[in-house]
Structure 1
Amino acid sequence: MWEYANVWAIARRTGLEPYVPACIRLKLDLVFESLTVPTFEEIGHCPFSINKFVKAVGAWNYTNQSILLPTFTIHSEIVLTWVQDIIQEFTFKERYIQKSEQILLQASKGILNCTFVGVHIRRTDYIGYLLQKHRVQPADTEFYMNSMKYYEKKYKNLVFVIVSDDPVWCQKKFGHMNNVFVVGKKVPNSAALDLAILASCNHTIFDYGTYGTWGAILAGGETIYFNLTSHSTVRVGQLLPNWHAMS
């Protein structure tokens, strides 16, 4: 999503025409309704000179150049200039919207006018990554509990909707709470549906990772994220209002 959003936003900033590899569009087209950036195949017949490409926005000198972005780059400052527009760009297909609404209705237990807080808890692969890459321990239950308390002081009729790659752990730690609903504790959802659920909530709590970051961006509202100082999430949190770091 960041790779697509980078191209979309930089094209808007520079006036260049945006294109993405077909492999990116094919994956995103399965989830989102009407993406506007075409694929390289649509200009595959056009000759080009590799010498006219630069690999960074800062190297573009406003002449007859194109920008070829490397993979895994995040230009959050440019993308989030048009945050409401990128939210519209990533409009979910109707089946995901309907299914996420059904799950939120189930989570509400019939209570009207609920405020939903999506909670993304990433464990499995990321625990080892945090220790190796950042030399830090993963977020513990205290982070999530303190974040929940923050929202409980501000909003009424709260429901915390937890999505995770380890729903069994989440159910064990938080399933006893009356205002918590753990998604996929019996049958895991697809990653696309979990993202749609997060986007359907009013506010967000998440620990780390671009998946949780995008869930929070698409949801809007307030966001509390784990204070991992060297992570790209921190820069996003600095750019968006109502994003708060918490340890």
Structure 2
Amino acid sequence: ELEGMWTITPSGRFGNLMGQYATLFALARLNKKQAYIFPNMANSLSQIFKLTLPMLHQEAKAQVPWKNYHIADWMDEKYKNILGDYIKLSGYPSSWTFYHHIREEILREFSFHEYVTEKVNLYLTKITAQRQNVTFVGVHVRRGDYVYVMPKIWKGVIADRNYLEKAMAYFRNKYKDVIFIVTSNGLDWCRKNINASSGDVYFLGDGNESEPQTDFAILAHCNHTIMTIGTFGFWAAYLAGGDVIYLTNFTLPDSPFLKVFKYEAAFLPEWIGIAADLSPLLNQSLNV
């Protein structure tokens, strides 16, 4: 019998919420406690997923004698013995190190409602038309606030045109009939920088950041993934399950980002990292 009430404070956007959900699910299990989620987390995630964790009513939330407990971005032995019946976890955990040992269950939590899968399959069939045995590669290009935040605050870069070309070449060489589905919160940039002349690239949607569920569902239904940076891309790749190419070494060695981020905790060991080109940062520091 599970005791108590454990929850996690929802912070950030879709990918962060998935990471928080999975981490709460795994840590509550390890500590034999009953997990609950806040209504705003449930609202965002249950639009597309068949979640099983019960929702915490606002009334209960106000009356429970919570003990706040902050967790880092990767698993630590001490998290196996967190003391307290009423724990409210906080932080931005998303790392596979928390939950990968129960991967099957996490994938079940994040299984899609039938109506979502039907909608996605319809979309993908439209693209393939008469072609058989197409291999879909979902491409997530994280831009938005990162365009500014990464170089200015974290001494890092985000994916450039070269990285995407290398990643796409990998899949074109490995599979014979590949279609790339590009989603991004910077689609204009993608259209200018991704060469679509060979007819195997499709740009999806309008990059609406307030309703990312459709983009996410389509990426997760692809066979393989090219991700850039961020948890949204990570989760799409984790759910899709095929080959994954990700951007790695994207910060300078003295970046403050590395205090809260470990490459080996963020990406699965079997995934393929392509190192970022840091020259724009180096040139920038020379020009100062």
Q: What band does the TM-score fall into relative to the shorter chain?
A: 0.7 to 0.9
- Whether 2:231 is the aligned partner of 1:210: answer yes
Tell me the secondary structure at the aligned position of residue 119 of structure 2: helix
- Whether 2:104 is the aligned partner of 1:84: answer yes
Measured in 2, the distance between the counterparts of 1:103 and 1:65 equals: 46
Measured in 2, the distance between the counterparts of 1:202 and 1:63 equals: 41
Q: How do residues 1-247 of structure 1 correspond to structure 2 at under 5 angstroms? A: 1-32=18-49, 34-41=50-57, 44=60, 48-50=64-66, 54-56=69-71, 58=78, 61=81, 65-173=85-193, 174-184=195-205, 190-227=211-248, 228=250, 230=258, 232=261, 234-236=263-265, 238=267, 240-247=268-275
Instruction: Mark the CA change 1:175 to 1:188 in structure 2 (over 3 Å): closer, same or farther.
Output: farther
Amino acid at match of 2:37: V
Whether contact under 8 Å (1:115, 1:159) holds in the other structure is: yes
| Deviations 1:131-190 (CA, angstroms, capped at 9, x unpaired) | 1232123211110110111112221111111111122322233332321111126x9694
| Percentage of identical aligned residues | 30
Instruction: Mark the CA change 1:7 to 1:114 in structure 2 (over 3 Å): closer, same or farther.
Output: same
Instruction: Mark the CA change 1:234 to 1:63 in structure 2 (over 3 Å): closer, same or farther.
Output: closer
Amino acid at match of 1:16: K
Which stretch of the first structure deviates more once superposed, 187-196 or 128-137?
A: 187-196
Tell me the secondary structure at the aligned position of residue 171 of structure 2: helix
Measured in 2, the distance between the counterparts of 1:233 and 1:181 equals: 32
Which stretch of the first structure deviates more once superposed, 9-18 or 54-63?
A: 54-63
Instruction: Mark the CA change 1:131 to 1:42 in structure 2 (over 3 Å): closer, same or farther.
Output: closer
Q: Post-superposition shift, 1:35?
A: 0.9
Amino acid at match of 1:242: E
Q: Post-superposition shift, 1:62?
A: 6.2
| Deviations 1:33-65 (CA, angstroms, capped at 9, x unpaired) | x211112229929975446x6445726646554
Whether contact under 8 Å (1:16, 1:66) holds in the other structure is: no
| Deviations 1:92-148 (CA, angstroms, capped at 9, x unpaired) | 222321222122223324211011110001222211111123212321111011011
Measured in 2, the distance between the counterparts of 1:87 and 1:196 equals: 13
Amino acid at match of 1:234: Y
Listed as ranges, the gaps of 5+ residues in structure 2 are 1-17, 252-257, 276-288
Size of the alignment, in residue pairs? 243
Whether contact under 8 Å (1:139, 1:207) holds in the other structure is: yes
Which stretch of the first structure deviates more once superposed, 11-20 or 64-73?
A: 64-73
Listed as ranges, the gaps of 5+ residues in structure 1 are none
Which stretch of the first structure deviates more once superposed, 207-216 or 65-74?
A: 65-74
Amino acid at match of 1:88: R
Tell me the secondary structure at the aligned position of residue 89 of structure 2: coil
Q: Post-superposition shift, 1:72?
A: 2.1
Measured in 2, the distance between the counterparts of 1:25 and 1:12 equals: 19
Q: Post-superposition shift, 1:246?
A: 0.5
Tell me the secondary structure at the aligned position of residue 163 of structure 1: strand
Q: Please, what is the CA RMSD of the aligned residues?
A: 2.8
Instruction: Mark the CA change 1:40 to 1:135 in structure 2 (over 3 Å): closer, same or farther.
Output: same
**Higher helix content, 1 or 2:** 1
What TM-score comes out, normalization by structure 1 length?
Answer: 0.85
Instruction: Mark the CA change 1:236 to 1:120 in structure 2 (over 3 Å): closer, same or farther.
Output: farther
Which stretch of the first structure deviates more once superposed, 7-16 or 114-123?
A: 7-16
